[in-house]
Structures are given as structure tokens and as C-alpha cells.
Structure 1
Amino acid sequence: MGTTGKFIIEKLPENPEELLRKIIHDCMDQTMEASRKHSIEPDRLGAIISSQLLDNDIWIPIRKIENDTIDNILNRFQLVSQSKIEKGSLLGQPFTVKIQTLGISSLSKNQSIKGRAPQENSQIITHINIDRLIKISNPNNLCLFYALEITRKYFAKELGAKWNFSRYLKNDNRQMEDVFDLLKSAKIPHDLPEYDAVEYVPVVVDFWNDKYKDAGYKFKVFVFGSVSEKPIFKYGNDNFNMPISIFHKNNHFDGIRFVGGMFGLKHKYCFTCEKKFRKSKEHDLKCKSLCRLCGRIGSERPCVATGDFYKKCDECGKKYLNEDCFEHHKKGSNCRQTKICEKCGVIWSMKNYKREAEKKHVCGQKWCQICRQFHSFDRGCFIRPLEAKKSADYRLVTFDFEATQNEKINNGNEERRLHKVNFIAATVTCTKCMENEQLWRSPLRQNGNSCAICGNNRSITFSQRPFNQTKVDKQVVTENPLKFFIEWILFELNQQYTTMAFSHNGGRYDMIMVFKEIYLKGLVPSMIRRGNKLYELKIPRNNKCNEIIFRDSYNLCPVALGKLIGAFGLKVTEKQFFPHLANVSENYDRTLQQLPPKSDYLYGGMPPQKQNEFDKWYEEEKNKQFCLNEALAEYCTNDVQILTEALIAFRNKFFEISKKKNTQPGAATGGIDILKDAMTIASACMKHFRLNHLQPEHLAIVPEKGYENIDNQSELALKYLQWYEETKRVEIQSAHSEGGEHVVDGRYKVDGYIKEEDRAIEVNGCVWHACQKCFGNDLEKILPNGKTVGETREDDEKRIEIIKKFLKNVDIIWECEIHQMLRRNQKMRNAFANYHNKGPINIRDCYFGGRTGPLQMYFDADTIC
């Protein structure tokens, strides 16, 4: 439920916060009242504040309604208002406040993935490679079952040769017969308007597992969506050997021939980790479906022992109990990439040691993914100093968009202005050209020059109309400048080099539109964002385009574009005033005899100081002719020139400041390339500190659970052991005792240990240990740990059996038994209520308290003095 209000404050009071607070409060009250009229009790609230001065809306995410909700919205509004002060106060121009409420308790808590009859002319815009799909063309609402049954036949090779399957795909009658046989056998109705995968996939999988168990098949179905590489739904036991994958989009299901190929060229897919990968050697070594001996990945891995086969490889030292496993490791590269230590039995990767050539495998040391070095895990982790490296050459593209806003669209109950890009200016330079100041400031095509990295053009524009007074290397005149700009930056530049593309404040405006256009090209960039602000868009190098990284220069230089001139002492034309509201198609190809009115320059939203500057300029210039074609080119190229000059000046200064000093003769002395190596100014400063000031093993990385809080026990278990100590008058060694939990046979820790009695006390959680009282005899039921009840109990029995061999007494108490004791014993309940965690301080506990921030942005301190 939502309400929208449009406001303008013509005479700004000295303290506008109270007035703004009242506006937001009234909007909230109206929205909540409207929700209650529709029998929805609101408990979540979000807000969107729009203004012509904003590159993008101020977005306050949906959150719980609290006492400080209005203050949080005010904080966000004032923060953005301050950052846009050069363009003018947001309160001086019309702004829109849209409040949305949500009653979370009224929402459906069940996942729904439905399929029905195919829709005509439905477009699939997705990062998925649809050529890898088994297209389903069902004449009814049964696409889910078509996709399941046909995909099963494909992977089970039930039809024999591939050409038989191709013929089967063209035989609609036979497909329908098979699907109706499946529905009849599984007792599924065939005349429903739609079918939910969450409800019916388990029915089909259970039917298949029972029907084909004699053939050795164990099925598990994975349903993939159009956005993520993770399945949106899955069903089946973890010991499956026949994964069936289907694709869901626009209420329709298709089969999937090759899951890995859907996510990129030569990609494979691991159903255990649910991740894509190119090469087995790059896959997670902790994966349960990885054979460490031969390097293969799959549901039938790791390879199991066969017969009496035994062979030790003379090159890598690994021992093999499976002939196929041994032969495959010799054919592939696994033998050369991994070796086994004969002393400790650890299989280690040669690739890791190439990072530090002087190091070799040391027993007890492992490659740490946290601090990126070899060390014993008893030592802990440290932040490593950076090493000076020479970065590869790259291409720098700076660009700026101008857009019309005169076209209006209806968005529900409100009218919004559509931003359509009608002019783009871009400048291209590279690290080679930057070495010569005269070279990167000079045109290329106009001087008959070219650069292998930059190309033929130093400056290029994409516009709907040509212009004459502003000189650039190339003009591209088109009705869709954004489309041609994206095609140029993606496909027309030298693909051997990375492109770093910067726009000022682009994370809230330019990059948003860039992302949409790239997505329509069938590419999905990885993104780093916070709310609706983009920090980075990254397109990896592929068979279509080179690597391109879009970033917002405001994160490196957090000042208005016009202030960069003074900040770096640039010798360029000052940033100009531009009538943004006069940027309409009606002004194309015509010359006005004087400048547009002040209102077109968003005069009302300017702060007083800027209004004075504008008044002086406007009085001098108002009688000059105005041509939109020429004004767009002059204004936009000037913005890009300022940004280019500022970024190169900042790069040179920071590179010199961060250059490593006092290095050994012949060692690299390169500094931080702030445009390539850092996304924000904070990141650049930290890299400078690590490169020049941080000493080895000086700054520790604090473990997630603190330095001592390593043994993980439930709060209930610790309270029970403390109660046991007090009532039995014994001393129990537990996770928080000196030395931690008692270890049996060098591998099994017990929750509690009484040395005098040689007694172990195991407190078992009912869910994680498959309690007999709670889970009964349903051995195939899957628990949250991914194992079945039967597998969990089998593992526990083996563990307890080994513990009993080393200890005289082993007591097992279940979580449900403790709760039953608490219900019956008042003294026990009181004792549990008074027990406190005796463990070490957890550093993250100090961060509790939710969102933090100033509760009031403006306060007159004199009133309380």
C-alpha cells in the first residue's frame, strides 16, 4: 500500500527540518490509515523521494516501523541534499515523497514456482544461454511435467542414440502420452490451471526413485531461474546419482541439457557446491563431490576402491585403489599439480607454492584463504603488507550523459518523467599516452594519429543531432545514442586491454542506464552496490568483448565536478551553467534569440551563493543566442574534459605519494594506481598504508568468534553442564575450560568430561543428531545438515563406539529430555535463568543495537546553554 505527495517549499525557513519532518509524518499517517482500510496492519515501511535535481531517487529500503523511522528518512534526505548542494537545495524545487507500507504477517510464507500454458511472443532476456535448453512446446498447462519427463529420458539415455532423442522432440503425440502416463502413475491431476514445482516436483522425484531403484537411479531435481547460478528450488537426497535440471521463466518450464554451459563458454557445474567452474583444479577443495586423487568432480565422486587394485604413483606419491582413478590422473594434469606429503598425508597444490617460490610444503602449515599465505593455524592471521607491482597497461574512458525529461509515463497512480539519453561525450586515453602530457591532451584522428590501446579517436560523441562549433575526433549521430555508445565501448575497442570507464556521480545515474543497456545485450555484469547506488559494474573478458569496469569517480574525488578544477589546479574552462529543462526535442535545429528563462536552469533550487553567481553570469549572457545542438556539445564535452584532467592529475599525484621508498636495488618501486587499484578513496589510502607502512605480522585479523571462543557449544548444553556440576558436586571440562573440550583418540571432542570418573557427557541437539523420539524411524528424512536421519544416526553410532573404547563411562542426554526436566523442576528452571555465558568476550557483541546514526541533523546548541 502506498501514497504519493508532491511538494515545493518556496520560502525556505532557516531550519527546514521540522517542516520536512511534518511532511513525512503526514505521508506516513495517510499511508498507514489507507493500509488499515484494506485490512492490512502495516509493520514495514519504505520511502522514495524524487526530485528533478537528483540523478536518481533517494531510496529508503523497506524496514520495521520504529520510533526513529522518520529520523532515518530525514538523515538520508539531508545526506543526499548536502551532496547535491552545488546543483541547488532539494527543497527549492518540486520534490515527491512516496511512502509504501507492508504487512509482513499477511504475506504468503510459501515459495511458489508455477508453470502453465505457454504465452505467445514472450521474450526471454536473461544471462542464461538458451541454446543449452530442451525447449518445451506444450499445448496445455503441463510444461512442468513435460520438462521433467523429457529431461529424464535425455540423461538416462532411455531412447538410445542422440538422433532418436531429436526425433522424439518432434513427436508431440508421444510426448503427451508419456506425460499423461507419468501423471496417472504418480496420481497427479491433469486438469489444473497451473502446477507449482514446490508441490509437485517432490511427488515426481519420490515416484521415480521408487520406480527406477532396481536400475540404480537416485534422482534429485534442480529448478533454475533466470538470475542466479543457484537453483531456486531442489528436491532429492544428497546421495543422488542422477541430477535432473529444469529452467523456469515467465511461468514456463524447459529442460536443461548442460547446466554448466548455461553460465558461460566451457563452464561446468557442481551440484554439490551449486557453483559453476571452468577447470576442476579451480574448484573448491572442500567439495564433497571432488576426488582429490584424480581431480574429477561429480555425484559419483570421490572414486571408491575397486577389487584388489593398488598402485602408488612415483611422481606425485598418491596411492590409488581404483584403476580408472589412477589412469585418469595420469592423463590429466592432476599428477603435475598436486603432491602428497609422505609424513603428514596432506595433498598440497603446487600452484599455491608458486605464489611464494622460496617456500615448500611444511607439515602443519596450510594455505590460508584469509591472509593469503602459508602458516600454522595455531598462529592466527595477519594482514599482509602489499608488494609493489607494475600493473598492466589499460584504457581510460571518461564519459557523461545528458538526457531529456519531457516524456511522461504513468507509473501506477503517479506520473513520472522518463530520462532518455540524447547526448553522450567520451574521452579515451591510456597509460601509455598518459606518460606524455602533450599526447593525451591532443586529438588523434584530427592529427592523423592513432594508438594501439586508445584506438583512432581521443574524443567521441553520440548525439541525436550534429554540431559544428565543438571539435571532436568523431561524431556518431543516431536516434539512440546510448545503444551505440554501449556497442562502441563493448565491441569496437581493442580487446587485448582492459577498459576503466568513469563517470562523475555515475553510480546514481549514468551507470544505472549503462547496466540496463548491457543487460539487453545478453550480458550480466557483476556489480558492487549499496542500496540503489552502484560502486562498480564489471564485465569479464569473454568471447564477445574485452574486460570493462565501470566506476563512479565521486568515490575517489567526493566533491562536485566543478570543484575539481580548483582542487587540482586545472587549466580548463570552468564548469558551465546549462538549462537542463530546455533539453527537449522541440528545441532541436532551432536558434533562440536569447538564453532560456532562469527556471530552465533550476534556479529555484540553487543555494544563495550560487544564485548570486548565476545572476551575474545570466545578466551578462542572457541576450546571446541559444542553440541546443551546440550547447549540448559544449556543455557535455566540457564536463568530460574536467573529469579527464582531474582523474589523470589525481592518478599522478597519488602514484607519486604512494611510491614505495627505500627499496632494494632492482626491486619494483611502483605506487598505487588509484584508478585501477582502488574503488574508493578509503580503499586507496588503506592500500597505501599496507604498501609503505604496514610491517609483517603486525596487524592481526581478529577471528570471527574471538581468539578463544573456538569450541562451539549450544547455550543449553553449557547451562546443563554447569547445573550438573553444581548438583553432582563434580568438576567438568567443557568448551570454556582451560584447554577447551576434552579430546578422545586425537579427533573427537566431547561436550563434558569428568576426569575423576573418566566420564564423558554428550548433550545432543535433537535436530542435528536425529533424536529417536523426535524423528522416529523415517530414515530417509533429510535434516538441516543435508544428511538423512539414517546417515546421521550411523555417523553418531560410529563416533560413540570409538569414544566408548577409550573412556569407561559415556552418558548421552538429549535436548528434548533437558526441556522435559526443566518443565518438571522449578529449581532447575531458576538456575538456568541465572546462568551466564562464561566464555571469552565476543568482539562482535559490541555491535548490537541495530542502525546507528544522528537522530537529528540540525540542532541549536545555544538553547540549552
Structure 2
Amino acid sequence: MRHKVLNIRIIDSYNFIPIALSKFPTTFGLVEEKKGNFPHYFNTRQNQDYVGTLPDIEFYGPSNMRESERSELIQWHEKNKDSIFNMNVAIQEYCSSDVTLLRKGCQRFQSLMMETASCDPFQYTTIASVCMAIYRHHFIQEDTIAMIPITGYFNKTNYSKKSIQWLEYISCKKGLKIRHALNHPEGEKKIGNFYVDGFDEENNHIYEFNGCFFHGCPRCYDKDLRNPYDNLPLWYKNKKTSEKKENLIKLGFRVTEMWECDWEKLVESDVKIQTFASAVETPGRLNPRDSFFGGRTDTTCLYRRIKNDEKIKYIDFTSLYPWTNKYCEYPLGHPEVITTDFKTIDQYFGFIKCQVLPPQNLFHPVLPVKYKEKLFFPLCYGCLKDFSSTCEHSLVERCFIGTWVSEELKLAVMKG
């Protein structure tokens, strides 16, 4: 927090030095300083002007201390039990001592960081951000961490499901390889100043699908009607569409265009085309953040009556994040975005968006799924939605679509 008028920044020292203030003298070699003892439970309104014998040891909270601290307190209290205690003087000395100890400790910490890493820690917010800054400045190698584009690894242009249906139909019918928004890592092809809906590089052929409303179809809409997105009249949109086609032809490309209304009529009149179009899927691009599900705790047995030869033991797994960072694999550089011609998942390392059919007999399901902002590990998506106790859903109803790390999916496949 920063006070703008006084230009003062307020930070929490515990975010940088997560130890008790009493440990500062030994940690930072502050021999002349020591955190004193104060009867916090004696600090009440009626005792603000107290002058008398030293308060009873219970007012110092010995039950909340560690064994070594409690032993030191007992020795100190026994030694000073006959001294006079003045609340006003004691509280001022105690607070002043605390502030001095904190100040000197933080200054020592700051100077140590400056000497060893040339980094002022208090320019950051936490010790974690300090460590990251030191790592980036001194240790990270060039060209190892990719800068993700602001828009992500997504297609930057708009497209419609109907346009993808038409382009896929042309590709299948003529045996062509037409690049479009969903089958290429970089999305639509940019030619000159224009993005084109479909591009057959081998034949230098461009395919344009014109949505009737957005391109000003004169057969479907009044030419003076305005587009609500940019407030431009449709006759102007139609003019720009024609100019784009003419410019592409001048650049030496063949151009084939299809109007939305013509495609709809074609689909309605031909059952085969209708069947083909309905089978074309237009899934959204993978978002790596969709694979982040957070932590999960659960219980599998709330009570266990042990037998004579059984023992219950407690095992705690700690420091898994540092262990993973040190020993496990991480991807480097920009990803290869694969949208077609998929191989088996054992040949991939990264993020995978896919449809999964889980088994029906796992005690601990592998893959997490978010449903209505809650985390589940289902074996049937239909049961998840219906809260069914007995599964009577079909294979299709049991499937769910999601994004996971490839290693999770490999484990899921191993489990069936």
C-alpha cells in the first residue's frame, strides 16, 4: 500500500522474512538487540497506569510458547520478580525495542540481498517475487521462456460455423488442402492487407465465405440498413467486399466466393451435403488456463477399527512444488499448435483438448472436470449433470470434453 500524499509505501516484513521477531537477533547477528517480554494479557484498560510488582507469569502467555521460550521466560521472571513494573514505561520500552529490532533486521536483510544478489528486496511485494527477479536477472538463459501473445494462441479473425462447413466440404469434394481458421496454428492466411477465409496454397486459390448481414448481401437486406457493430450502411459493406475480391485477383489469385444464403439453400436441397455439414465440428481453440484446476482434498475413510496386527501411520508429502520444479520436465519456447492429423497421445507433451470416455470402475478417477464452478472427478458426465446414483447413460452421454496436461491423459489411459 502506498500513501500518495506522503509518498510512503507500507509493506509487510513477514512477506519477506517469515520468522518470529524474537529470532531476528540470532538470524541477522544483532547482538546488541533482544526482544523483551511483555505481559500482553495484563494490558487492559484498568491497568494502563499500573505501578507495582511484576505481573504474574501467566500474563505473559507461557502456554502459547515453545519449550525453549517458556524456559527462558520462567528464568527471566524468577530473576525480576521483585522489580517494580510501570505499565507506561514498560509498554513504551517494549514497543520501541520491537520497532528498533524490526528496523535493524530489515536493514540487514536488505543489505545482504544487495551484496549477494544486487537486488533491493523491498522494491517487490513478497520473497517469492524477489526470488523470481533474481532468477530472471542472473540465471535464466535467453530464449527459454516464451512471451505468450497478448491474444493467446488463438485465431485473431472472426469466422462462422457455416464458413468452416463450406470450406471443409470443398476440401473433401475436390481433394484439396484448404487452410482456414481452425486447421492451421496461425489461423487464417493473411495476404497483403487481407485475411482470407480459405487458402489453397498449392493452386494459388482463395475461398471467401460472405455472411449476408456482415457483407451486405443485396438479396437479403436493405442496402441502407446499418450494421450495429460499426454503424456502417450495408451498401458500403458490400462495396468493400467487392473491392477486396478485386484486389486479390489483381495480386494474381483465383477467388471463389460463397454467399451465406446460397450455402443455406444448397444444404437444404441436398441431403448428402446436409449430412456432411452437420458432421463438421467447430471446437474452440485450446486455452492452457482451462487445464488449471487447483488443489483438491478428500477423505476415503472416516473411521477405521484396526485389528490386532494393524497400525495406522501418518505420511505427509511436503515441498512437492520445489521437487516438481527441480526434477520434472517443462516445455520450452512457443508451442506447436496441432489441429488436424492427430497421433496417439503418448507422442505428445503439452496441453491436449479432447473428448474423454472414462471407465466405470475406478475408485479414484484421474481427470478433473469443472461443472457449475465446482470441481469433480466424474466417471460419467451425464451422472454429474443429473446427480444420478445409478448410471444408465449411453457412451455418448458419459463422455466429457476438456483440456488437460498430456501426462494426466496418459495416466488416465493407463487406468482404462
TM-score (norm. length: structure 2): 0.55
1:802 equivalent to 2:243? Answer: yes
Q: Distance in 2 between matches of 1:580 and 1:801?
A: 82
1:299-337 CA distances to partner (integer Å, 9 max, x unpaired)?
xxxxxxxxxxxxxxxxxxxxxxxxxxxxxxxxxxxxxxx
Which residue of 1 is the match for residue 291 of structure 2? Answer: 848
Decide whether aligned partners of structure 1 residues 779 and 589 sit closer, same or farther in structure 2, where only a CA change above 3 A counts. Answer: farther
Map 1:130-529 to 2 at 5 A.
Answer: none
Asked if 2 retains the 8 angstrom alpha-carbon contact of 1:763 and 1:813, the reply is yes
Q: Distance in 2 between matches of 1:596 and 1:845?
A: 60
Map 1:786-801 to 2 at 5 A.
Answer: 787-788=230-231, 790=232, 793=234, 796-801=237-242
Q: Return the letter of the residue paired with 2:313.
A: D
1:862 equivalent to 2:326? Answer: no
Which residue among 140, 143, 147 is the counterpart of 1:701?
147
Q: Distance in 1 between matches of 2:65 and 2:241?
A: 75
1:584 equivalent to 2:44? Answer: yes
Q: Distance in 2 between matches of 1:648 and 1:715?
A: 61
DSSP-derived class of the 2:11 partner: strand
Q: How many residues align?
A: 291
Deviation at 1:637, TM superposition (A): 0.9
Q: Distance in 2 between matches of 1:619 and 1:777?
A: 97
Decide whether aligned partners of structure 1 residues 705 and 649 sit closer, same or farther in structure 2, where only a CA change above 3 A counts. Answer: same
Gaps of 5+ in 1: 1-536, 659-670
1:50-82 CA distances to partner (integer Å, 9 max, x unpaired)?
xxxxxxxxxxxxxxxxxxxxxxxxxxxxxxxxx
Map 1:565-580 to 2 at 5 A.
Answer: 565-580=25-40
Decide whether aligned partners of structure 1 residues 606 and 760 sit closer, same or farther in structure 2, where only a CA change above 3 A counts. Answer: same
Q: Distance in 2 between matches of 1:803 and 1:637?
A: 76
1:672 equivalent to 2:131? Answer: no
Q: Distance in 2 between matches of 1:576 and 1:734?
A: 73
Deviation at 1:655, TM superposition (A): 1.2
Q: Distance in 2 between matches of 1:726 and 1:582?
A: 85
Q: Distance in 2 between matches of 1:633 and 1:765?
A: 79
1:118-163 CA distances to partner (integer Å, 9 max, x unpaired)?
xxxxxxxxxxxxxxxxxxxxxxxxxxxxxxxxxxxxxxxxxxxxxx
Deviation at 1:569, TM superposition (A): 1.5
Decide whether aligned partners of structure 1 residues 602 and 742 sit closer, same or farther in structure 2, where only a CA change above 3 A counts. Answer: same
**What is the RMSD of the two structures over their aligned residues, measured on CA atoms?**
4.5
Which residue of 1 is the match for residue 90 of structure 2? Answer: 631
Deviation at 1:751, TM superposition (A): 1.7
Which residue of 1 is the match for residue 105 of structure 2? Answer: 646
Asked if 2 retains the 8 angstrom alpha-carbon contact of 1:595 and 1:621, the reply is no
Q: Return the letter of the residue paired with 1:626.
A: F
DSSP-derived class of the 1:809 partner: strand
Q: Distance in 2 between matches of 1:773 and 1:575?
A: 86
Deviation at 1:626, TM superposition (A): 2.9
Q: Distance in 2 between matches of 1:591 and 1:773?
A: 97
Asked if 2 retains the 8 angstrom alpha-carbon contact of 1:750 and 1:760, the reply is yes
Q: Distance in 2 between matches of 1:550 and 1:622?
A: 39
Deviation at 1:797, TM superposition (A): 3.0
Which residue among 116, 120, 124 is the counterpart of 1:657?
116
1:447-479 CA distances to partner (integer Å, 9 max, x unpaired)?
xxxxxxxxxxxxxxxxxxxxxxxxxxxxxxxxx
1:726 equivalent to 2:186? Answer: no
DSSP-derived class of the 2:133 partner: helix
1:231-281 CA distances to partner (integer Å, 9 max, x unpaired)?
xxxxxxxxxxxxxxxxxxxxxxxxxxxxxxxxxxxxxxxxxxxxxxxxxxx
Decide whether aligned partners of structure 1 residues 673 and 863 sit closer, same or farther in structure 2, where only a CA change above 3 A counts. Answer: closer
1:162-207 CA distances to partner (integer Å, 9 max, x unpaired)?
xxxxxxxxxxxxxxxxxxxxxxxxxxxxxxxxxxxxxxxxxxxxxx
Decide whether aligned partners of structure 1 residues 782 and 709 sit closer, same or farther in structure 2, where only a CA change above 3 A counts. Answer: closer
Deviation at 1:729, TM superposition (A): 4.3
Which residue of 1 is the match for residue 24 of structure 2? Answer: 564
Q: Distance in 2 between matches of 1:813 and 1:595?
A: 88
Which residue of 2 is the match for residue 539 of structure 1? Answer: 3
Asked if 2 retains the 8 angstrom alpha-carbon contact of 1:762 and 1:810, the reply is yes
Which residue of 1 is the match for residue 320 of structure 2? Answer: none
Deviation at 1:649, TM superposition (A): 1.0
Decide whether aligned partners of structure 1 residues 695 and 829 sit closer, same or farther in structure 2, where only a CA change above 3 A counts. Answer: closer
Which residue among 270, 277, 280 is the counterpart of 1:832?
280
Q: Distance in 2 between matches of 1:753 and 1:550?
A: 57
Decide whether aligned partners of structure 1 residues 585 and 749 sit closer, same or farther in structure 2, where only a CA change above 3 A counts. Answer: same
Decide whether aligned partners of structure 1 residues 795 and 749 sit closer, same or farther in structure 2, where only a CA change above 3 A counts. Answer: farther
Decide whether aligned partners of structure 1 residues 702 and 759 sit closer, same or farther in structure 2, where only a CA change above 3 A counts. Answer: closer
Decide whether aligned partners of structure 1 residues 737 and 795 sit closer, same or farther in structure 2, where only a CA change above 3 A counts. Answer: farther
Q: Distance in 2 between matches of 1:773 and 1:626?
A: 97
DSSP-derived class of the 1:701 partner: coil
Q: Return the letter of the residue paired with 2:87.
A: L
Deviation at 1:595, TM superposition (A): 0.9
Q: Distance in 2 between matches of 1:794 and 1:538?
A: 55
Which residue among 253, 258, 261 is the counterpart of 1:811?
258
Which residue among 141, 144, 161 is the counterpart of 1:716?
161
Decide whether aligned partners of structure 1 residues 797 and 552 sit closer, same or farther in structure 2, where only a CA change above 3 A counts. Answer: farther
Which residue of 2 is the match for residue 549 of structure 1? Answer: 9
Decide whether aligned partners of structure 1 residues 829 and 809 sit closer, same or farther in structure 2, where only a CA change above 3 A counts. Answer: closer
Q: Distance in 1 between matches of 2:187 and 2:173?
A: 22
TM-score (norm. length: structure 1): 0.29
Deviation at 1:646, TM superposition (A): 0.9
DSSP-derived class of the 2:313 partner: helix
Q: Return the letter of the residue paired with 2:291.
A: F
DSSP-derived class of the 1:577 partner: coil
Higher strand share: 1
Asked if 1 retains the 8 angstrom alpha-carbon contact of 2:157 and 2:188, the reply is no
Deviation at 1:774, TM superposition (A): 11
Q: Return the letter of the residue paired with 2:275.
A: K
Decide whether aligned partners of structure 1 residues 584 and 777 sit closer, same or farther in structure 2, where only a CA change above 3 A counts. Answer: farther
DSSP-derived class of the 2:17 partner: coil
Decide whether aligned partners of structure 1 residues 800 and 696 sit closer, same or farther in structure 2, where only a CA change above 3 A counts. Answer: same
Decide whether aligned partners of structure 1 residues 647 and 715 sit closer, same or farther in structure 2, where only a CA change above 3 A counts. Answer: farther
Which residue of 2 is the match for residue 593 of structure 1? Answer: 53
Deviation at 1:799, TM superposition (A): 3.3
Deviation at 1:747, TM superposition (A): 0.5
Higher helix share: 2
